[in-house]
């Protein structure tokens, strides 16, 4: 059974306990920042990616087996236009089933990457593998599972505003270990409104995928295994209950990398792709972030922050003006929730002056106010553990995930207030529908809650109200905790747009 760790750990600023690597950690700021390659269409509007194992040099001097889209971690970046109906064929050459979710995508339900809508490796039987759903006793009714052999097409209409989306594995019960092994990448939606702004562009517009990992002595990823057919890591129950955190911080797959920049504005599209770790990002020696976008696209107007807390799956679209620093400066992106090695994230080296034609306009996007009075109903989703001690599960409204049993049936074209209550750090994500934060514990939202979002950082014993709009598609979707270990421990629920 799964034991809940002592209550002391439940209210702190970080969710889990850090899993120590068994190899010597590399020196920070010695590896250049990689930028993931762009995905190339096979013909206009059509892409194909292969999920496969590959070896990568993540820690200098050793190699790590990753499971990546096109064998890379992060996977290729899809750079696409709003309204450009795009088909992505995903071919699964891994030894395990997969499901690919476009996080933040306004996607038809059968392309949403539902956990039991699986691509099974060609030649493998259709059915849940041993050690799968049986772990939690959920989803045992196979009639709701669907299987595709070897490959399938996902359709992304992209009828949505420009935004930084990402795609990742979503397999029932195994999302956490499969994302840890590398199954994640960016999908950037662009549109005319965003293009017309004088924000930094080209190589000054950089996606940054931040995540933590730990490593075994031989360079392989260290991850606590719950699979009795392999080996069960000591302490795995506690690690799973809180969420797994590593002691190496990777940005775009490189440990504590550095990037040389000119003394100009840069647009940094930050994604926290960690399983469980939250970060409080700050610049050293001092500095500020100008936020221009959130999960679901541009803000109405820029917001300035000296620190940004980013929970798993959240995105922050930030501009940093490196002309605030003298040429020759080292500007370190710190995680001030971390300690020791997890306090560093990456470093910018301001190496030269350059012409900067960019600007941050006072008005970024047409205002789309969240009007509380437009809500047709209010629903509560309570994220908490069933109980303390052996056999505990993470649940929503007291229920572990039951595929095909929706907790809500919102109507297409309406807005609702959803109240998220919680007993721990739960980054709550809603598929399909975007929302704005209305309040935290009855008080106005934080400055970092601005804009349309798909994931919100719900902290222990908080009540967070959001206004959710259901647009685009009818059908089965889900809301869940994006602490991936919690997700795998059944902290998910269906809703059906009718």
Residues in contact with ligand C2O by the rule CB under 6 A: 101, 103, 168, 170, 313, 429, 431, 480, 482
Among ligand C2O, Cu ion, none, residue 148 binds (CB under 5-8 Å by kind):
none
Which of ligand C2O, Cu ion, none lies near 431, with the C-beta cut-off 5 to 8 A by kind?
A: ligand C2O
Structure tokens at 20: 């120590």
Phi, psi for residue 208 in degrees, rounded to 5: -125, 110
170 binds, among ligand C2O, Cu ion, none (CB under 5 to 8 A by kind): ligand C2O
Minimum CB distance to ligand C2O smaller for 176 or for 268: 176
What is the closest distance, in whole angstroms, from the C-beta atom of residue 118 to ligand C2O in the complex?
15
Which of ligand C2O, Cu ion, none does residue 103 bind to, with CB < 5 to 8 Å depending on kind?
A: ligand C2O
Nearer to ligand C2O, 305 or 480 (CB): 480
Partner from ligand C2O, Cu ion, none contacting 305, C-beta within 5 to 8 A by type: none
Instruction: Output the smallest distance, CB 160 to ligand C2O, in A.
Output: 16
Minimum CB distance to Cu ion smaller for 56 or for 489: 489
Q: Take residue 139 and report the two structure tokens written for it.
A: 């989803």
Radius of gyration of the chain (CA): 21
Q: Do 355 and 265 contact (CB within 8 A), yes or no?
A: no
List residues near Cu ion by CB under 5 A: 426, 481, 483, 486
- Is-contact 333 347, C-beta < 8 A? yes
Partner from Cu ion, ligand C2O, none binding residue 483, C-beta < 5-8 Å depending on class: Cu ion
Q: How far is the CB of 225 from Cu ion (least distance, A)?
A: 20
**Residue, CB closest to ligand C2O:** 103
The sheet carrying 330-335 orders its strands as: 258-262, 344-352, 330-335, 279-284, 308-310
CB 194 within 8 A of CB 162: yes
Return the number of the residue (169 or 237) whose C-beta is nearest ligand C2O: 169
221: helix, coil or strand?
Answer: strand
* Shortest reach from residue 487's CB to ligand C2O, in Å: 7
Work out how close the CB of 495 gets to ligand C2O at its nearest, in angstroms, rounded to a whole number: 12
First to last CA, the chain: 38
Give the H/E segment covering residue 177: helix 175-180
Measure Cα distances from 241 to 138, 222, 283, 452 in Å: 17, 17, 32, 30
CB nearer to ligand C2O: pick between 101 and 426: 101
Q: Which residues pair with 357 in a beta bridge?
A: none
The residue (of 275 and 436) whose beta carbon lies closer to ligand C2O is: 275
480 is in the binding site of which of ligand C2O, Cu ion, none (Cβ under 5 to 8 A by kind)? Answer: ligand C2O
Q: Measured from the CB of residue 249, what is the shortest distance to ligand C2O in angstroms?
A: 20
> Quick one: 80 exposed, middle or buried, by C-beta within 10 A (0-12, 13-18, 19+)?
buried
Pull the structure tokens for residue 85: 């109906």
What is the smallest separation between the CB atom of 101 and ligand C2O, expressed in angstroms? Answer: 5
With the CA atoms of 419, 238, 58 and 487 taken in that order, what torsion angle do they form, in degrees rounded to the nearest 10? -30
């Amino acid at each position: 059974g799964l034991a809940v760790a002592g209550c002391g750990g439940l209210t702190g600023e970080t969710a889990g306990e850090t899993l120590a690597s068994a190899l010597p950690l590399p020196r920070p700021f010695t590896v250049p920042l990689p930028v993931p390659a762009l995905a190339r269409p096979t013909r206009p509007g059509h892409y194909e990616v292969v999920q496969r194992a590959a070896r990568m040099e993540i820690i200098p001097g050793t190699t790590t087996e990753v499971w990546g889209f096109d064998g890379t971690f992060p996977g290729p970046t899809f750079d696409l236009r709003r309204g450009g109906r795009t088909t992505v064929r995903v071919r699964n050459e891994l030894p395990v089933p997969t499901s690919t979710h476009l996080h933040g995508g306004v996607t038809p339900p059968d392309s949403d990457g539902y956990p039991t809508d699986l691509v099974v490796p060609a030649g493998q039987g259709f059915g849940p593998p041993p050690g799968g759903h049986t772990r939690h006793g959920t989803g045992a009714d196979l009639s709701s599972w669907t299987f595709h052999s070897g490959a399938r097409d996902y359709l992304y209409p992209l009828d949505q505003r420009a935004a930084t989306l990402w795609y990742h594995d979503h397999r029932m019960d195994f999302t956490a270990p499969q994302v840890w092994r590398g199954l994640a990448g960016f999908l950037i939606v662009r549109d005319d409104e965003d293009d017309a702004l004088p924000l930094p562009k080209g190589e000054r517009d950089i996606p940054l995928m931040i995540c933590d990992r730990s490593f075994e002595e031989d360079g392989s990823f260290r991850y606590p295994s719950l699979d009795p057919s392999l080996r069960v890591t000591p302490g795995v129950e506690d690690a799973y209950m809180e969420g797994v955190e590593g002691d190496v911080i990777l940005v775009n797959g490189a440990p504590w990398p550095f990037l040389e920049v000119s003394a100009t504005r840069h647009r940094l599209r930050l994604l926290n792709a960690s399983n469980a770790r939250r970060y409080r990002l700050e610049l050293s020696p001092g500095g500020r972030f100008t936020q221009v976008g959130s999960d679901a696209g541009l803000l109405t107007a820029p917001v300035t922050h000296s620190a940004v807390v980013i929970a798993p799956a959240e995105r922050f679209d930030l501009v940093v003006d490196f002309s605030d620093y003298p040429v020759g400066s080292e500007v370190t992106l710190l995680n001030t929730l971390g300690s020791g090695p997890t306090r560093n994230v990456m470093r910018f080296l301001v190496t030269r002056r350059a012409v900067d034609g960019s600007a941050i306009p006072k008005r970024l996007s047409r205002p789309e106010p969240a009007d509380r009075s437009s809500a047709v109903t209010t629903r509560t989703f309570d994220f908490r553990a069933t109980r303390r001690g052996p056999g505990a599960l993470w649940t929503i409204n007291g229920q572990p995930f039951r595929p095909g049993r929706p907790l809500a049936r919102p109507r297409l074209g309406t807005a609702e207030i959803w109240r998220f209550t919680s007993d721990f750090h739960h980054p709550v994500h809603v598929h399909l529908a975007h929302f704005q934060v209305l309040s935290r514990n009855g008080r106005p939202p934080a400055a970092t809650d601005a804009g349309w979002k798909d994931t919100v950082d719900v902290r222990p014993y908080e009540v967070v109200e959001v206004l959710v709009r259901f647009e685009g598609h009818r059908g089965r979707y889900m809301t869940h905790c994006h602490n991936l270990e919690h997700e795998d421990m059944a902290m998910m629920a269906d809703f059906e747009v009718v």
